[in-house]
Amino acid sequence: MSQQRTIISGGAVLSMDAAIGDFDRADVLVEDGRIAAVGPDLEAPDALVVDATDAIVLPGFVDTHRHTWQASLRNLASDWTLAHYFTGLHAGLSGLFRPEDTHAANLIGTLEALDSGITTLLDWSHNLNTPEHADAAVAGLRESGARAIFAHGGGAKQYQVPSDVPHPEDARRIREQYFSSDDQLVTMAMALRGPQFADKDVTRDDFALARELGARITVHVGDGEWGKNRPVAWLHEEGLMGPDVTYVHCNTIADDEIDLIAATGGTASVAADVEMQMGHGWPATGRLLDAGVRPSLSIDVCSSNGGHMFGVMRTTIGVQRALDHARAEARGVPLESLRLHCRDVVAFATIEGARAVGLDHRIGSLTPGKDADVIVVRTDSLGLSPLNHPYGALIYNAHPGLVDTVLVQGRIVKRDGRLTEVDHGSLRRLAESSRDYLLGQARHQPAIADACCGGTWIPRPYVPQV
């Protein structure tokens, strides 16, 4: 149960709502799980007080694409390319997962996100090898206390690409058993392979299944070489695009394909950290903006990179600014002003993320009437004092250790820098036990036996058939 009334007082408030604006010092009043008021000197004598002096108050971050099932394999892929990842994970370790491994990873991975200020996570769950794996994935999300979207993505056999294996029909059971209502803290979407990774007939059937179930669609497009076969143009020719689709990555799709996303009301998810490391291509942030698509942000795989939004925001803005500077230099004309501002990128991580998961009517801004998904980020460290530019501080100086308080639907899930209902020792032991099992099993698989060798394993790269 959430507190009946909570007041977050005295912070620098970034509402992410143009009609409300920002405040150097203001309060946020929460009643019955929702934002009741935002402004200076609010009166709420009977409310629980969260002191936000020397802190920034803003909506919780929204991660629109994370393969949470990989959390127990944290950093194993930190020296891998995308081709290594396909061989090492999808053709290797993924098949070793038991349902309890999926549960452990989803639980610790979602709590990791929550601890860093990500209050909403889209779990792009594409290692559901059995119905029991799907049940375990949903259970992990629910137990975390975060807001989450379970994006049903099939299992390992669907990712031996190119694939002619249909999306599992078990998605129908999951929808009926767990997600008969969309008015829940954990809801459902469909994570589809699309024409990059599945044949055309399967893709048509997968999209039809998602729409029959009334679930939003999230699909990878533009991932390195796979993205050069004009997947978005084909989707448009087939009449499969629409405002219910989020296009993940978009790095190597053509400009006219990005225009098609804009024309059909689609949304986009940029994962700049992974994209820069693994070779997806340059992040599409600027090209999306040129077409009128304001992207959301995502972590992607914690088996490779960090799981917090601060790092992704920093990479997103840094790479796009570098590209803009390079373009100006190539023209021989200095860049007179930066088109991508810090506030834009914080908006990508909040309200644009909410739009991409279809929840902007409920979250993403501190708008009265919306659910109170709120975070408080401390600014009293030497690295943030004095506070001059809150948006710049969030992107360039902040980190998960400064996230002091987190509310989800008005319920305080982190206070004074600690998750309130988590036994950290038990959770770590659960993750370590799963890790030990998976890497122990890998010793018996000749192709991946080196996975047990402390991060030295570099898989044989996968060669896409395009």
3-state SS assignment for residue 174: helix
* Long-range contact set of residues 41-47: C-beta below 8 Å, sequence gap at least 24: 42/7, 42/9, 44/5, 44/7, 46/5, 47/3, 47/5, 47/6, 47/7
Contacts of 277 (CB under 8 A, 6+ apart): 78, 304, 305
Name the pairing type of β-strands 296-297 and 267-270.
Answer: parallel
Cis peptide before 386 (omega within 30 of 0): yes
Name the pairing type of β-strands 147-152 and 5-14.
Answer: unpaired
pLDDT at 450: 63
Cα 81-288-220 angle, rounded to 5 deg: 45
Residue 29 in contact with residue 376, Cβ under 8 Å? no
Contacts of 87 (CB under 8 A, 6+ apart): 459, 460, 461, 462
Residue 85 in contact with residue 278, Cβ under 8 Å? yes
Tokens of 55: 């802190």
3-state SS assignment for residue 37: strand
Phi/psi at 371 (5° precision)? -60, 145
Q: Which of 335, 196, 355 minimizes the C-alpha distance to 268? A: 355
pLDDT at 452: 59
Low-confidence ranges of the chain (pLDDT < 70): 1-3, 446-455, 463-466
Count CB neighbours of 453 within 10 A.
Answer: 11
Q: Which of 193, 189, 183, 211 minimizes the C-alpha distance to 154? A: 193
| Helical (H) or strand (E) element with 430 | helix 424-442
- Tell whether pTM > 0.85: yes
pLDDT at 91: 84
Count CB neighbours of 119 within 10 A.
Answer: 29
pLDDT at 455: 64
pLDDT at 1: 37
Q: pLDDT of 340-386, one tens digit each?
A: 999 999 999 999 999 999 999 999 999 999 999 999 999 999 999 99
3-state SS assignment for residue 352: helix
Tell me the C-alpha to C-alpha distance, in Å, between residue 413 and each of 51, 363, 448: 16, 17, 39
Helix axes 99-115, 131-144, angle to 10 degrees: 30
Q: pLDDT of 313-349, one tens digit each?
A: 999 999 999 999 999 999 999 899 999 999 999 999 9
Residue 406 in contact with residue 412, Cβ under 8 Å? yes
